[in-house]
């Protein structure tokens, strides 16, 4: 290599020199870059708590229990607590004209808590239920009304998951505790509406979010008596929908990315003057894609057999441009 193209040793290179004004400019640029980096990092969402979810229902991850699959039950099999039989049962849909279910099974533990609420499943196939008294409290003692039970997806055994605290001492004129359960696939959260501690004249209920990863209460929405529950991701964010237990309304409350309650409720749909009695409450709320099914039923904090209650079904469609729900038909008189 010729001397013309040989690199100079580092020690022989000329040092970089700046005037005092030049160093001041460098310092200013460095400070600006640091501030810009801090602001950019502050605006980034945490990787474990995404800030947005796909518009639609949150039931995409739910699967059938593993024990049911091992027993030969298929995805079309039904988990039910609505039969005359106490507790939870699983069966295949009727295969004959008589309408009777077939292949009915009940684990020995499934009637330990008396009559139960509608079951919900999670992404692992675990089942969650709560006591739901029918005509008397003989099978559903008041002190057990605020307990959530879990049926293990593998073993099929039902055991206590968590006992929720009542908002106030139990009242003899309110025989109910937990009225609704809902599961959110996005956050692995179980929501429960409880009226334990409420009276006929005082609203003291709560809606509670349970983090199923820790099995602990993560958030509470106070002083609200709620019936049916479900979660829906709208164009403006995630919301928990619930039927008011003291008004003929479906309401919703905003949730953050973790599933915690973040704001005030708003009215989504009124059933006032509709249905058989004109004062039905939203006993069940079920989302399917962009459709909401509401099952209305009379409710006055008293024990009446479900079979004796008249129910009305309402269907609504989600309007993404308005972030609002519109009835699919005219339910007026």
Model pLDDT for residues 280-317, shown as the tens digit of each residue: 999 999 999 999 999 999 888 888 655 566 889 999 99
- Average of per-residue pLDDT across 246-265: 97
State the residue for tokens 């139960």. 116
pTM: 0.83
Domains of the chain and any CATH numbers:
56-94+102-327 (2.130.10)
- Tell me the CA distances in angstroms from 222 to 130, 179, 193, 226, one per residue in order: 20, 15, 10, 11
Supply the DSSP string of 248-272, one letter for each residue.
SEEEEEEB-TTS-B-S--EEEEE-T
71: how many CB neighbours lie within 10 A of its CB?
Answer: 13
All residues at 6 or more sequence positions from 197 whose CB lies less than 8 Å from its CB, including other chains:
166, 167, 168, 169, 170, 171, 204, 205
Tens digit of pLDDT for each residue in 107-123?
999 999 999 999 999 99
Res 308: pLDDT: 61
Highest mean pLDDT among 90-94, 147-151, 275-279: 147-151
pLDDT at 237 over 80: yes
Indicate the Cα dihedral angle 155, 158, 160, 161, nearest 10°: 60
Tens digit of pLDDT for each residue in 181-212?
999 999 999 999 999 999 989 999 999 999 99
């Amino acid at each position: 290599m010729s001397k013309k193209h040989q690199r100079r040793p580092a020690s022989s290179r000329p040092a970089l020199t700046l005037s005092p004004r030049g160093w001041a400019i460098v310092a200013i640029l460095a400070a600006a870059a640091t501030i810009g980096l801090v602001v950019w990092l502050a605006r980034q969402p945490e990787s474990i708590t995404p800030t947005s979810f796909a518009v639609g229902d949150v039931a995409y991850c739910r699967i059938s229990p593993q024990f049911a699959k091992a027993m030969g039950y298929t995805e079309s099999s039904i988990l039910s607590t609505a039969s005359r039989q106490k507790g939870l049962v699983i069966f295949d849909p009727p295969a004959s004209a008589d309408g009777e279910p077939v292949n009915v099974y009940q684990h020995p533990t499934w009637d330990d808590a008396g009559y139960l609420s509608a079951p919900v499943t999670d992404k692992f196939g675990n089942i969650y239920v709560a006591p739901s008294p029918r005509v008397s409290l003989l099978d559903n003692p008041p002190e057990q009304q605020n307990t959530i039970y879990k049926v293990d997806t593998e073993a099929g055994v039902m055991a206590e998951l968590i006992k929720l605290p009542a908002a106030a001492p139990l009242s003899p004129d309110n025989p109910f505790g937990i009225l609704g359960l809902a599961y959110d696939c996005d956050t692995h959260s179980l929501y429960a509406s409880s009226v334990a501690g409420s009276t006929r004249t005082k609203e003291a209920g709560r809606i509670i979010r349970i983090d199923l990863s820790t099995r602990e209460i993560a958030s509470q929405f106070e002083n609200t008596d709620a019936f049916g529950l479900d979660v829906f991701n709208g164009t403006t964010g995630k919301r928990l929908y619930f039927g008011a237990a003291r008004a003929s309304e479906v309401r919703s409350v905003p949730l953050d990315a973790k599933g915690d309650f973040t704001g005030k409720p708003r009215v989504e749909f009124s059933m006032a003057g509709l249905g058989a009695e004109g004062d039905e409450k939203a006993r069940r709320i079920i989302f399917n894609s962009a459709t909401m099914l509401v099952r209305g039923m009379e409710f006055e904090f008293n024990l009446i057999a479900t079979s004796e209650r008249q129910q009305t079904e309402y269907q609504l469609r989600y309007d993404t441009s308005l972030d609002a729900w519109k009835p699919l038909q005219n339910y007026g008189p």
